[in-house]
Amino acid sequence: MEETQLQRGLSSRQIQMIALGGTIGVGLFMGATSTIKWTGPSVIFAYLIVGLFLFLVMRAMGEMVYLHPTTGSFANFASDYIHPVAGYLTAWSNIFQWVVVGMSEVIAVGEYMRYWFPTLPEWIPGVIVIVLLAGANLVSVKAFGEFEFWFAMIKIVTIILMIIAGFGLIFFGLGNGGHAIGLSNLWSHGGFMPNGWVGFFFALSIVVGSYQGVELIGITAGETKDPQKNIKKAVNGVIWRILIFYIGAIFVIVTVYPWDELGNIGSPFTQTFAKVGITFAAGLINFVVLTAAMSGCNSGIFSASRMIYTLAQHKQLPKIFLKVMKNGVPVYPVLAMGIGIFVGVILNIVLPMFIKGADSIFVYVYSASILPGMIPWFMILISHIRFRRLHPEEVEGHPFTMPGGVAASYLTIAFLLLVLVGMLFNKETVVSVVIGLIFLAFMTAFYFVRGYDRLPDEDQHLK
């Protein structure tokens, strides 16, 4: 276990599915109704607009990763092209985001298991999932990729079937006595944008949260076979995944059901399947959401453990986190992530016993991952602008450049800042932004107090 180099163990098909899994989370299955309540059927355009801007983020990252495929890529880019503290904040934001997301996903697993085992204590399935996924990550990067491949496959097949069933209802009356539902639900309940531009604006901030994790393929770059070919293929595929899986699914939901009745029907996925005669729809969707939660936790352990490894490379964490097993897995970062998520699960059980309202504190902490989750996007875009200025020669003849170049990066930064402003004015998201800002301020102060800014340049920059 004395090696310190990761191995390229992820295949092309695994990279494709990791990219898919990173884009499709529990938010689509369980959170769609909360975004629809803000803006009605026009939520389709909210998902489309955010999706297009995130495609630009991915292309900016892809342009740099194509030339420099390293583990923890965007944290390294932030260190190299902005400032070492930017790389430090990027890495810790990613770790914070995935620990929090991992905690919420594992706690959710316990709740989903109650569907089949009503008396089962929630912490038992949570612990089993942590052990199972940490074990898979320790076996090899290939085992992580295989888990994620099948998790993503389950989600994708479910969404495709739901879209097919929905189109059958809308255009052919399948499951509705042969009476086509048609498109009237898009405008007949207060209009296409019933809550006006303010509702649409607020919806954007919630939609942004559902896309978190899309940058995961940038972290896989250091462990991917033929990274240039596979990263290019995965990044280019993001736009089609967004159009098919997000826009397609949301279109079906707001067309089949009046948007203002969605809060009363439970999961629209379950109801759509039930409507076309699939009687075990509730159990099916519960299983799919269970695998989606496990997928989120699996991705979190992989992603954040590589960021811990990257911080150790920069001498901003102890050298022990550089230890790599013979199978190419950074063992202590993976264990640290598993323990971090486990502590969160235990606190979720214990704190409400002693502190009144502690369960609501955890809700705020979970939502606080939104801003740290956006930090890598900002850093990728700013790094891209600096990369273009410092290395114009590398862009000449580059086969995978960012559409629109530097102008597209500036435009995307402006859009993300606009979304953050919207979050500050929305009572449902303002607390999460404030907690995120406190976290970033604390980590920045810690960086300078610890003297990391005085480390030699070769430790702060990884070329």
Q: Of the candidates 379, 447, 398, which has an alpha carbon nearest to the alpha carbon of residue 76?
A: 379
3-state secondary structure of 323: coil
Tell me what pLDDT residue 45 has.
92
Do the Cβ atoms of 143 and 223 come closer than 8 Å? no
**pLDDT the model gives residue 457:** 61
- Determine the Cα–Cα distance for residues 225 and 150; give it in Å rounded to an integer: 19
pLDDT for res 155? 83
Q: What domains sit in the chain, N to C, each tagged with a CATH number? A: 12-453 (1.20.1740.10)
Question: Rounded to a whole number, what is the distance in angstroms from the first to the last CA of the chain?
Answer: 25
- pLDDT value of residue 31: 64
Per-residue pLDDT of the chain (463 residues; tens, 9 = 90+): 445 565 555 666 777 676 666 566 666 666 677 788 888 899 999 989 998 998 899 899 888 888 877 666 788 889 889 999 999 999 999 899 888 888 888 887 887 888 898 888 878 888 899 999 899 888 877 777 788 888 888 888 888 888 898 899 899 888 778 888 899 989 988 888 988 888 888 888 778 877 877 777 766 665 667 777 777 777 777 777 777 788 888 898 889 888 888 767 667 777 778 777 777 777 888 888 888 888 888 888 888 888 898 899 888 999 999 988 887 788 999 999 999 988 878 877 777 777 776 665 656 666 777 888 899 999 999 999 999 998 888 888 788 888 899 999 999 999 999 999 888 888 878 888 888 899 999 999 999 998 887 777 655 554 4
Phi, psi dihedrals of residue 153, rounded to the nearest 5°: -60, -45
Alpha-carbon span 309 to 190, nearest angstrom: 52
Query: For residue 386, what pLDDT is reported?
Result: 94
- Overall size of the chain counted in residues: 463
Question: DSSP alpha helices (H): ranges in 368-404?
Answer: 370-390, 392-395
Predicted local distance difference test score (pLDDT) of residue 92? 94
* Confidence at residue 244, expressed as pLDDT on a 0 to 100 scale: 79
Alpha-helical runs (H) found in 314-429: 331-354, 358-367, 370-390, 392-395, 405-424
- Determine the distance from the C-alpha atom of residue 423 to the mean position of all C-alpha atoms in its chain, rounded to a whole number: 18
Nearest C-alpha neighbor of 452 from the set 322, 316, 318, 320: 316
